[in-house]
Chain A
Amino acid sequence: MKNIYSPIEAVIEDIIVETPTIKTFMVRPGQEFSFRTGQFIELTLPGAGEAPFTPSSDPNCKDKIELTIMNAGRVTQMLHNAGKNTTVGIRGPYGKGYPLDRFSGKDILIVGGGVGLAPLRSLLFSLFSRIDNYNKVILRYGARTPHDIVYKQMIPEWSKIKNVDVLVTVDVGEPGWGGNVGLVTTVLKDLPLEIKNAVAIVCGPPIMMKFATLKLLDLGFAHSDIYLSMEKNMSCGLGKCGHCRMGRYYTCKDGPVFTYEEIKEIPEIWE
C-alpha cells in the first residue's frame, strides 16, 4: 500500500552558491524519479519538515535534480545550513507543469524575477533541447542588484543559442555593472516577437508577477497566452490539505502554473 505522505530518500551531492541568499542543491534520488518541467516536489529535511520547490534542472536529466532555493523561511534556512552528503527526502512530482505542446511554433517570452528564474531555467533547458520546435525564445530577467542574479555563468551562454534572446536587468545597479537598470517591466518593450503568435511565461515574487502581467496585457497578449506560477502554501501537494486553495482550484494539483485567463476572476490573486 502506497503512503502518499512518505518521502523517498535522496542525498545532496553538491551545492552551488548562487547569491548571498540563494543556493542550488544537486540532489540525487535513491530511486527512479522523474518530473515534467514546471512540476514541483516536496523536499524534506529529515526531522525538520518539508517545503515545495520546482526543480531548476533539465527534466531530461533523470538521475539528478537541481533545486535553487532562497533562504526565506524555517526549512530553507536549515537547508542553507546543510552541507554536502546531507540526506533529504523527496515526494512528488506534483502539479501540471508547463504545457510545452502548446508552445510549439511560438515566440516564447520568459519573464523572471529573482529566484523565480529557478523553474524557468528548467523550462529553458526543455525548450533548448528541442529549440527548432519553437520560433524564438526571449528571456527577460530582473534581479534586485547584480549580486542577486542567479546562474551568472550560465546566462551569457544561453544568449549564444540560436533564436534565443536574453536581457538581464537589475533594480539597483552598482559600480562596474554595465547592464540595464530598472524593474523587469522596463525591459518588456520593443520585444522582438510577434504578440499574436507569442506566449509569455512569468515567475517571480507576487508584486513582480502582478506588474509584469499588467504590462503584458497592455502589450496585447491574450489572457490565455500568459502563464503564471502561483506561490501558495502547498503542504501536501495532492489537493487534500486545503492550504493552497485559490478560488475553485488547488494551486498544487491544478497548477502551480495557471494561465491568466484561468485565474483572473479570482479576487486578490496577487496577495
Chain B
Amino acid sequence: MPQVYYVEKNSLDEFAQRLRKEFTVFVPVVKEQTFTKETEYTYKRLSEAQPLAFNPYRNVEPLKAFFTYSLEKAAEYFNGDVPEMPEEKTVIFGVKSCDIAGHKIQDFVFLEGVEVDSAYRLRRENTVLISGDCTDFKSVCHCLAWEILPHPTSGFDLNLSPLNEGYLAEVGSQKGGDLIQKYKGFFILAKDAQISARRQKRENLTERLKKHLFPQNLVSKDSVQKLMREGYHLDTWHNFMLTCVECGGCNFICDTCHCFLLSDTPEGQRNARLKLWDSCQYGNYARVAGGANPLKTRAQRLRFRFTKKFDFFVDNLGIPACCGCGRCIEVCPAKIDIREVLKDLAKKLNVAS
C-alpha cells in the first residue's frame, strides 16, 4: 500500500514556502492573457506568502520544458568532458497524469539507449515532481483514449488529490517520502474514509471524461499501430497537411516529442555546441548533404510524425508516444487535429475504434 497523508490547505502553503528555502519552486497559476474560452494555467516561480493554486487540468507548457530546453548550450569545446551545469534543485507543483505519461518517453530517450544525456539526468535528479489529480478537463483532453487515467498512478514523487479543506498526499518515491518525513508536522496519515472519498472523486471525474470522449469515437491504443502500417499510402496524410504552415508548434508543445538539432557557433575563444528543439514538420529536417531528402513533402512529414508516435514507440517501448493532452490540437493554427487524423485512417481502413 502506498503511503497517503492528509494535509490542510494552509499547511500545504506553508510546506511550499519552506520548500522555497532549498528549492526553486514552480507552481501553477492562472495565465492572465489567453485567447481561449477555457482558463489556462501556466508555471510560475512561487513567491513569498503566495498561496498555492490548484490547476484542475494540465498547464499550457509541456513538462519536458523543465528538462530539455528549446535552446541550450550542450557543449563547449575543447575543454574536457564536463559541461558547466550549475543546476538548481527544483520542485514542480501541478504536474498532471498526461505530463507524467509523456515524460516516460523523454526518460527513455535521454536516460536509456546507448548513452545517457548527463544534463538531462542531472535535471531529473534535481527535480521533485509534485503532481495532482485532474478535477476537470479541457475539451481537447483525451488521455483515456490511450488508457492513461486522469490521475497519476506512478512516476511522481508526491501526488496531491484535493479533498475537503485540504489534500491527500500520496508518496510515489523515496524523494517524496523523504520530504514528508522532513516536514512531517504538516502531514497526518490519511484515514480509510478519506482514501475512499478520493477514489470516489477520481471515479466521478473519469466517468465524466468518458462521457465527453464517447461521442468522439476515438481510435483505441490497440489499433493505432495497425493504422500506421496499413494506412501508409492513404490520402489522409496529404489531405490533413493542406493547411499546415510548418510552424513546428505541434512538436514543440508535445510532451513526448524530443527531436533536437546540434548546431555549432564560434563564441570568443571557445566554440559552443547548441542543442535546439527541432521539428519533423520542417522541410529540411531529414535533408542530407548533397540535397537528398527522404521527407520532401508535408504529407510525408505528417506521416513521419505519426509513425514515430504510433509505430516506432510501440515497437521500441511498448506504448504510443501520445499522452492525450491535446496540446498539439490547441496550438495548431491550421486546426490539424491528431484525433481526426487517426479517425480518418480508421474510417478508410475500416478499423473499428
A: which residues have CB within 8 A of B? 1-9, 30, 44, 46-51, 70, 72-76, 87, 89, 94, 206, 231-233, 235-236, 238-245, 247-248, 253, 267-268, 271
List, in ascending order, chain B residues with CB within 8 A of A73's CB. 288-290
Query: Does B278 lie within 8 Å of A243, measured CB to CB?
Result: yes
List, in ascending order, chain B residues with CB within 8 A of A241's CB. 259-262, 278
Query: Does B75 lie within 8 Å of A3, measured CB to CB?
Result: yes
24 chain-A/chain-B pairs, Cβ below 8 angstroms: A5-B75, A6-B80, A6-B81, A6-B83, A6-B273, A8-B78, A44-B264, A49-B264, A72-B290, A74-B289, A75-B289, A87-B78, A89-B78, A231-B292, A232-B294, A236-B262, A239-B113, A240-B113, A241-B261, A241-B262, A241-B278, A242-B280, A243-B286, A245-B308
Q: Which single residue of chain B is at the shortest CB-CB distance from A270?
A: B294
List, in ascending order, chain A residues with CB within 8 A of B74's CB. 3, 5-6
Contact with A along B134-156 (1 / 0, CB 8 A): 00000000000000000000000
Alpha-carbon distance A6/B270, docked complex (angstroms): 12
Contact with A along B282-319 (1 / 0, CB 8 A): 00011111101110100010001001100110011000
List, in ascending order, chain A residues with CB within 8 A of B119's CB. 3
Query: Does B260 lie within 8 Å of A232, measured CB to CB?
Result: no
List, in ascending order, chain B residues with CB within 8 A of A238's CB. 113-115
Query: Does B266 lie within 8 Å of A240, measured CB to CB?
Result: no
Q: How far is the CB of A232 from chain B (nearest CB, A)?
A: 7
Alpha-carbon distance A5/B83, docked complex (angstroms): 10
B186 within 8 A of A: no
List, in ascending order, chain B residues with CB within 8 A of A6's CB. 74-78, 80-81, 83, 273
Q: Which 4 A-B pairs have the closest CB atoms?
A: A73-B289, A242-B259, A47-B266, A6-B75
B15 within 8 A of A: no
Interface residue from A30, A46, A72 paired with B266 (Cβ < 8 Å): A46
List, in ascending order, chain B residues with CB within 8 A of A8's CB. 78
Interface residue from B260, B290, B315 paired with A242 (Cβ < 8 Å): B260
Alpha-carbon distance A49/B117, docked complex (angstroms): 20
Query: Does B265 lie within 8 Å of A47, measured CB to CB?
Result: yes
Query: Does A47 lie within 8 Å of B264, measured CB to CB?
Result: yes
Query: Does B278 lie within 8 Å of A51, measured CB to CB?
Result: no
Query: Does B77 lie within 8 Å of A7, measured CB to CB?
Result: yes
Query: Does A232 lie within 8 Å of B286, measured CB to CB?
Result: yes
List, in ascending order, chain B residues with CB within 8 A of A74's CB. 289
Q: Which single residue of chain B is at the shortest CB-CB distance from A252?
A: B114
Besides A6-B273, A9-B77, 10 other A-B contacts (C-beta < 8 A): A1-B81, A6-B76, A30-B78, A47-B265, A48-B264, A76-B289, A240-B258, A244-B286, A248-B311, A271-B292
Q: How far is the CB of A51 from chain B (nearest CB, A)?
A: 7
Alpha-carbon distance A96/B258, docked complex (angstroms): 23
Query: Does B82 lie within 8 Å of A46, measured CB to CB?
Result: no
Query: Does B81 lie within 8 Å of A3, measured CB to CB?
Result: yes
Tell me the B220-260 residues at the A interface (CB within 8 Å).
232-233, 258-260
Q: Which single residue of chain B is at the shortest CB-CB distance from A4?
A: B115
List, in ascending order, chain A residues with CB within 8 A of B289's CB. 51, 72-76
Alpha-carbon distance A89/B76, docked complex (angstroms): 12
List, in ascending order, chain B residues with CB within 8 A of A2's CB. 81, 115, 118
Query: Does B78 lie within 8 Å of A9, measured CB to CB?
Result: yes
Contact with A along B96-114 (1 / 0, CB 8 A): 0000000000000110011
Q: How far is the CB of A47 from chain B (nearest CB, A)?
A: 3
Alpha-carbon distance A46/B76, docked complex (angstroms): 10
Alpha-carbon distance A200/B276, docked complex (angstroms): 39
Query: Does B75 lie within 8 Å of A245, measured CB to CB?
Result: no
A232-B288, A248-B316 are known contacts. Are A253 and B113 too (CB-CB below 8 A)?
Answer: yes
Q: Which single residue of chain A is at the shortest CB-CB distance from B263?
A: A49
Alpha-carbon distance A241/B294, docked complex (angstroms): 17
Alpha-carbon distance A239/B115, docked complex (angstroms): 9
Q: How far is the CB of A78 from chain B (nearest CB, A)?
A: 11
Interface residue from A48, A242, A267 paired with B308 (Cβ < 8 Å): A242
